[in-house]
A = this chain, B = another copy of it.
Amino acid sequence: MRNLITDVAGVKVGSAHDAKLASGVTALIFEAPATASIAISGGAPGLRDAALLEADMTVEQIDALVLSGGSAFGLDSAGGVQSALREAGRGFEVAGQLVPIVPGAILFDLANGGDKSFWREPAYWRLGRDAARRALEPGGKDFTLGSHGAGHGATLVDLKGGLGSASAKSAEGFVVGAVVAVNAVGQATIGEGPHFWAAPYERDGEFGGLGWPAALPEAALTLKMKGAAPQNTTIAIVATDAELTKAQAKRIAIMAQDGLARALRPVHAAMDGDVVFAAATGRAGQSPDVIELTRIGALAADCLARAVARAVYEATPLAFPGALPGWRQKFGR
């Protein structure tokens, strides 16, 4: 196991970023079309082709998902992913035409010090194409955490944010994984210290192994948030190799949102676009019953909480003056 969402059979991931722009894109490609749905819990979502993920809509399977920086401009990234997929002969066939189905979500990283004069050109379309091409390569099972892809330009209130991932296997043998771009309005760590809210879910020291603080600091529950201008949003994908219906995938997405609740404080706020996509590749060849489905959902939430902490743990600071420190830099670990 790589401890990445690509441990789920049928899932590949590629990232691309532009250091001058200080932003990037992460594309998740399904080797064959996958069933997927969504849970939208933030008050300011930025989504593309996501309406079709509801259970009452007709299209059952999708080709890829994309997470992007760039606020609403970043919704162009899905077009670039579609271009790369179409180039690879992929897509939903309608009347002899291939239409790759690529829902996507964005986060706000326009105030992180990068050069944001990109808007005369479809910068995110190109980043999306680059990320998807990387995912389509034979090496598309490996990708780098921290300040990469959609997490390249991401921040929290007190630390650099980034791209995180984690995986696990259920008692029944279903593989579950998560990938997340963490750009939360608040914190992933407790008070002023290095401990992560997600500590109870950590496996094998994957984000430093500090565990829970001996005593909670007095100000642990005091909300610390980015200023009046919200520069936030945490966007995630969870995946499993189980066979799911769209309605079951929606249930997994809803349960996985609880992982964000456990790892971030606050989350799901009015100016957050917090979204979780859930996808099932079906490669395990088995459908879960209602209890197994619950285990998958709970495991997806755990993976997502761990992925949030790993994103922050692995992040490195941007090169701009006044850029927020990375976790390792700040805490000297």
A residues adjacent to B (C-beta < 8 A):
40, 43-52, 56-59, 71-73, 75-76, 78-80, 82-83, 86-87, 94-97, 99-102, 108, 110-111, 116, 119-122, 124-125, 229-231, 270-271
Tell me whether A71 and B50 are in contact (CB under 8 A): no
A139 to chain B, nearest CB (A): 23
| Contact A79/B71 with A45-B51, A59-B44, A271-B58 known, Cβ cut-off 8 Å | no
* 4 A-B pairs closest in CB distance: A95-B111, A95-B229, A76-B79, A97-B110
Tell me whether A72 and B99 are in contact (CB under 8 A): yes
A23 to chain B, nearest CB (A): 12
Tell me whether A49 and B75 are in contact (CB under 8 A): yes
A63 to chain B, nearest CB (A): 10
Q: A75 to B103: give the CA distance in the assembly, Å.
A: 11
Tell me whether B72 and A43 are in contact (CB under 8 A): no
A50 to chain B, nearest CB (A): 6
**A73: chain B residues within 8 A (beta carbon):** 79, 82, 99
**A58: chain B residues within 8 A (beta carbon):** 43-44, 270-271
Q: A116 to B98: give the CA distance in the assembly, Å.
A: 10
* 8 pairs, A vs B, C-beta closer than 8 Å: A44-B57, A46-B49, A47-B50, A47-B51, A48-B48, A58-B270, A76-B125, A94-B108
A247 to chain B, nearest CB (A): 15
Q: A111 to B95: give the CA distance in the assembly, Å.
A: 6
Tell me whether B45 and A52 are in contact (CB under 8 A): yes
Q: A219 to B59: give the CA distance in the assembly, Å.
A: 32
Q: Which one of A45, A87, A100, A230 has the highest number of Cβ atoms from chain B below 10 Å of its Cβ?
A: A45
Q: A271 to B94: give the CA distance in the assembly, Å.
A: 11
Output the nearest chain B residue to A120 by Cβ-Cβ distance. Answer: B83
Q: A86 to B59: give the CA distance in the assembly, Å.
A: 34
**A122: chain B residues within 8 A (beta carbon):** 76, 79-80, 83, 122, 125
Q: A117 to B79: give the CA distance in the assembly, Å.
A: 14
Tell me whether B47 and A49 are in contact (CB under 8 A): yes
**A229: chain B residues within 8 A (beta carbon):** 94-96
Output the nearest chain B residue to A108 by Cβ-Cβ distance. Answer: B94
Tell me whether A99 and B110 are in contact (CB under 8 A): yes
Q: A51 to B72: give the CA distance in the assembly, Å.
A: 12
For A95, give its contact among B75, B124, B231 (CB under 8 Å).
B231
Tell me whether A43 and B71 are in contact (CB under 8 A): no
Q: A83 to B97: give the CA distance in the assembly, Å.
A: 28
Q: A229 to B73: give the CA distance in the assembly, Å.
A: 32
**A87: chain B residues within 8 A (beta carbon):** 119-120
| Contact A82/B43 with A71-B94, A99-B71 known, Cβ cut-off 8 Å | no
Q: A76 to B110: give the CA distance in the assembly, Å.
A: 20
- Beyond known contacts A47-B48, A96-B229, A125-B125: 12 more, CB 8 A cutoff: A43-B56, A45-B57, A46-B49, A46-B51, A46-B52, A49-B72, A49-B75, A76-B79, A76-B125, A79-B79, A95-B230, A97-B111
